[in-house]
Amino acid sequence: MKPILSIKNLAVSIEDREIIKNFNLEIEAGSIHALMGPNGSGKSSLANTLMGHPRYSVKGGTIFFNEIDITNFSPDKRAKQGLFLAFQYPQEIPGVQVFTFLKEVQRALTGNDIPVEELYDQLCNYLQLLSMDESFAYRNVNEGFSGGEKKRFELLQLLMLKPKLAILDEIDSGLDVDALKVVAHGLAIARKESPNLSILLITHYQRILNYIEPDFVHVMQDGYLIKSGDASLAQAIDQEGYDGIRSTQ
Ligand code: ADP
Ligand code: MG
């Protein structure tokens, strides 16, 4: 089977500093890959580069998504192909309500206008799944959201937009155990609804991987992918730290 995402020899710079170096990764449709690594190792930079953030300039290598070379695609073109990023630090959009935002994004991505009532029903269904109140639909995007609400809103977008590959940048950070279980439940629903959904789950901690078992675990450091393995690698990191797993290379 052809991979949904194929990154080859990727090199990325920001302001002339190389932050991702000779990076290779393939993700199959329907699989879950965890990307771990200490702070500052380049995980968010990789996520932003995959989404086409203009500050990250690709100096070498290619990114294929769905067998299309998207290395130079704009972010909206990538999103239309089915790529989705849940941000580590979601931004506020003052004056734009959650429902309006989702309606506009849906339209921009698909070119279709889903009837408002249908979209609202979908939204309410997912809000319930994520233990959120219906009134959330009328709040302004990320304005005054708690950390947990921001993360749940990222997940809500994933559920509504049904991408092919979801990159989740620390969707677990700052969540207490109950909120973490809600997020894990939401991800399980997303996978059930779209069995081919692939996930690149960026995380510091093994904790979320107890609820969502990864098929592969990768470790980044200083811009390099230094190690790949199965779910047991995340457990080794939890017990021995990054220094511990490096010494067993
Ligand atoms: P991680 O997500 O693994 O913590 P990042 O990708 O955020 O790591 O950061 C990797 C390196 O790139 C860090 O040294 C960071 O300072 C630098 N970096 C990332 N984004 C930017 C940016 N927008 N401007 C300047 N430096 C950046
Ligand atoms: Mg990060």
- For ligand 1, atom 16, the nearest C-alpha belongs to 40
Q: Give a yes or no: residue 118 inside a domain.
A: yes
CB atoms within 10 A of CB 181: 14
Q: What is the average pLDDT across 184-203?
A: 96
pLDDT of residue 4: 97
Which range marks the domain in which residue 58 is found? Answer: 5-244
Q: Give a yes or no: residue 249 inside a domain.
A: no
Q: pTM above the 0.85 mark?
A: yes
Q: Give a yes or no: residue 126 inside a domain.
A: yes
Tens-digit pLDDT profile for residues 119-155: 999 999 999 999 999 999 999 999 999 999 999 999 9
Which ligand 1 atom is nearest residue 170's CA? 2
Q: Give a yes or no: residue 99 inside a domain.
A: yes
- Split into its structural domains, the chain has a count of 1
pLDDT of residue 244: 83
pLDDT of residue 247: 63
* CATH value at residue 83: 3.40.50.300
Output the CA 39–ligand 2 centroid distance in Å.
Answer: 7
Q: Give a yes or no: residue 81 inside a domain.
A: yes
Which ligand 1 atom is nearest residue 202's CA? 2
Q: Give a yes or no: residue 147 inside a domain.
A: yes
Nearest ligand atom owner, CA of 38: 1
